Amino acid sequence: MIDAPLIEIRNATIYRGDTRVFDNLSLSIGQREPAAILGPNGSGKTTLLKLINRELYPVHRQDTWVRILGRESWNVWELRAQIGIVSHDLQIRYNDSTTGLEVVLSGFLSSIGIHGSLANRITREQAGQALAVMAELGVESYANTPLRKMSTGQQRRCLLSRALVHDPHTLILDEPTAGLDLAASFDYVRRIRKLANAGKNIVLVTHLLNEIPPDIDRIILLRKGKIVADGAKQAVLTEENLRKTYDTDINIANVDGYYLAYPPKN
Ligand X SMILES: Nc1ncnc2c1ncn2[C@@H]1O[C@H](COP(=O)(O)OP(=O)(O)OP(=O)(O)O)[C@@H](O)[C@H]1O
| Piece of 41-49, 101-109, 139-147, 158-166 that binds ligand X (CB under 6 A) | 41-49
Sign of the C-alpha dihedral computed for residues 83, 69, 53 and 123 taken in this order: negative
Q: How far apart are CA 24 and CA 143, in angstroms?
A: 45
Among 46, 64, 110, 170, interactor with Mg ion by CB under 5 A? 46
Q: From the list ligand X, Mg ion, none, pick the one residue 43 interacts with, judged by a Cβ distance below 5 to 8 Å according to partner type.
A: ligand X
Does the protein bind ligand X through residue 42 (CB under 6 A)? yes
Q: From the list ligand X, Mg ion, none, pick the one residue 110 interacts with, judged by a Cβ distance below 5 to 8 Å according to partner type.
A: none
Does the protein bind Mg ion through residue 99 (CB under 5 A)? no
For residues 258 and 242, the answer to whether their CB atoms sit within 8 Å is: no
Q: From the list Mg ion, ligand X, none, pick the one residue 47 interacts with, judged by a Cβ distance below 5 to 8 Å according to partner type.
A: ligand X
Helices (H), the chain: 45-52, 76-80, 88-93, 100-109, 124-136, 152-165, 182-197, 233-236, 239-246
Q: Which is nearer to ligand X, 19 or 248 (CB)?
A: 19
Q: Which is nearer to ligand X, 43 or 161 (CB)?
A: 43
State the minimum distance, in angstroms, from the CB of residue 148 to Mg ion: 24
Does the protein bind ligand X through residue 87 (CB under 6 A)? no
State the minimum distance, in angstroms, from the CB of residue 133 to ligand X: 27
Q: How far apart are CA 165 and CA 144, in angstroms?
A: 17
Work out the angle at residue 26's Cα, subtended by the Cα atoms of residues 226 and 90, and round it to the nearest 5 degrees: 75
Size of the site for ligand X (CB under 6 A): 12
Q: Which residues pair with 99 in a beta bridge?
A: 146
Q: How far apart are CA 120 and CA 61, in angstroms?
A: 42
Does the protein bind Mg ion through residue 177 (CB under 5 A)? no
